[in-house]
Amino acid sequence: MKQHLMKRLILLAALAAGSAFAHHGWSEYQADKPLDLSGTIEQAGYEQPHGFVRLKTADNKTWLVVLAPPSRMESRGLPPDKLVPGQKASVHGYPHRSKGDELRAERITIEGKTTELR
């Protein structure tokens, strides 16, 4: 009986640790320092747990822009065919505390259409 209980506890602990690792916390982003970036999408991913674009700005810096989950982007009118290399985009979001080239996007504008991501 004790062995069965111990196996369950170990399994639950492993599952909890795995899900915590898979989803990063938003506290790593500086909500008090919003940024607005514009540039050209160099690469895009419409994948779980969050979509992303690599956005090259006018100063030749490439940002990793973390977007919403694909289901949210789709339901709010941002299909994957809008996130393509060469497309111009503007984003409003929050920079990462320790990664100087990462931004969590609150909204993205492509072809004059703004999509709220959060």
Token look-up 């779980």 returns 48
Phi, psi of 76 (to 5 degrees): -100, 10
Smallest Cα–Cα separation from 103: which of 56, 59, 48? Answer: 56
pTM of this prediction? 0.78
CB atoms within 10 A of CB 29: 20
Do residues 110 and 89 lie in contact, with contact meaning Cβ atoms separated by under 8 Å? yes
Q: Give the mean pLDDT of 27-44.
A: 96
Q: How many residues does the chain have?
A: 118
Residue 93 has pLDDT above 80, yes or no: yes
pLDDT digits (tens, 9 = 90+) for 39-82: 999 999 999 999 999 999 999 999 999 999 999 999 999 999 99
Cβ atoms of 41 and 55 within 8 Å: the answer is yes
Strand 62-66 versus strand 102-110 pairing type: parallel
Q: Which residue has the tokens 């100087």?
A: 100
